[in-house]
Chain A
């Protein structure tokens, strides 16, 4: 009997040490999208173990609350997501199922990027007949480098709050990031001068911050309403509109269905630019922005 108890006790102790070990390791950070994973990696460096819930090939509006994601949120010390209802179809469920107090809404470990910048296209009327619109405004802010910089500043503060021991590390990383980012911005600004005023057609209205930054003019969206795929009648209407008022290129995100864009390209001869909507697993934000601009410039020339 005594031996049995002793064994149980040993097992419990072993389990506890295992748990404790994981608790003392690096910060576990759960990023909803790859852009925030990349930014967090830059700011936290070795102090954190960053996991991205999605890839650039996945539509962040439509992710399933998979068991693997619940398990990741369970162990997270910090959540870095877009917010503004982008993840409304899956994140609340992950939070409720996680049993994790640190990352619940309102806690220090709950970081929503859109809480720290202003949003464009806040709808005046909320009606689903207008499609799947976001009440807080367009959430795809990561395509504007100025807003990314604001998010970086806020994120560095959050990192310091939840992990004060590494404060110096986070401050230095932020300073380095700011320096590199400013240089990159002025370089991108110069590079992208010839894109200013270019007229584009987009698959889904998720490029608004890029349009705003680069001075692109959006002529048409290949969805009759946000989130509603086009039918042939609608595409014919867009085609007629473009014959009157021609565009320079068609943009669509890597995770979107490219059929409507390819169809329109065939009819009009416009180049289709399939852009990675988010950085890939290994890329930094700067590398990703470079890639996006290069793709746009190539299509333009």
Chain B
């Protein structure tokens, strides 16, 4: 049987506010346990929450960026359950009236096609603390530093059809929140976390299969692996005559498998109700306009501009706008060298492979945009050839300085003096007199191939420094002369 995978994602993005969503405590990651927990974060008797306006602004920014309806009146609700890292016994979240309503985000798939993923809603809520199970001799410790950190929970429609699409969607969200400056996107520190709702159905069937929710998957790679594994598990289960049950599962990256956390019957009844300690959030047109004015150029707009302004292909434009850092890097290189296509090539091929090899992000690149742009300039003004440029690039990656310094130090400057090239060619032709004769005796078709042999010999003799175009021209003249 042919199976179709259906995926919906819930992404929790920690908002990059200075202080928590309902208290004045700082949100810095990695502080000593419980040093960033105030009376409010501890859920002391008698304390009350006060909403951080910055978190509202960031949520609205996101909403505008995905072309969503912004809830003019949104309501905070209490989600009630007991857990030691949840100090009040309820999480302040949003339920019936979220701040961000229906919107969408376009993702570019590997084959270059664009797919629109619906976003059901995005709502504000507070993060919980952390339970620490080590070093407490059979007891658990609780760190409430994270409790009250603002989260934006972004819920997608079940529009995603494969693990690869899921990753593309998470990457697009990741890029977007970083473009907007509302989340640092640091998945290792849990700043962006993902719950995956996965089901399968026979191809062509209209209704959805029963879904399982994989909780808290925190890297692009794990999202792909966890979903693929879960899809496989569900298909095998059904094909063996079993039934998928609605449950929460946990992905174990060490064993590459998902396992059951709790079933539907053990699921909490969260008893949501509007939080009486907080007033509804009313968003006025003025506020929307102010926030809209602070929106930066977004990935999609950037992609379109790269195509129109620089004549890049859709694929190149989408790769280069995938992150704000990547786009900024590219634009800087293009600006310095004045040749966007060449810049795009270098960034997407040589630089990408360098970063990939050393597992670095573009903002950690050992070759700066200034360096790369400067090097491409030297290709353009014929100081070096493309081939030599690769050597220069490698040297820059090794920290040997700017292109100019390297060209100077290594004597890589291209030879463009036609007298010097000519005398070098004379030597080459003299050393290969037999081949010259053969060439001259051959017809047009054969000559083409043989010509390459002379070019190779000439470049070898000049150690690659002779200007290839000049070599070509002079060689032709001499051979046909």
Asked whether A and B interact, the reply is no
Residues in chain A within 8 A of chain B (CB atoms): none
| Chain B residues proximal to chain A, CB less than 8 Å | none
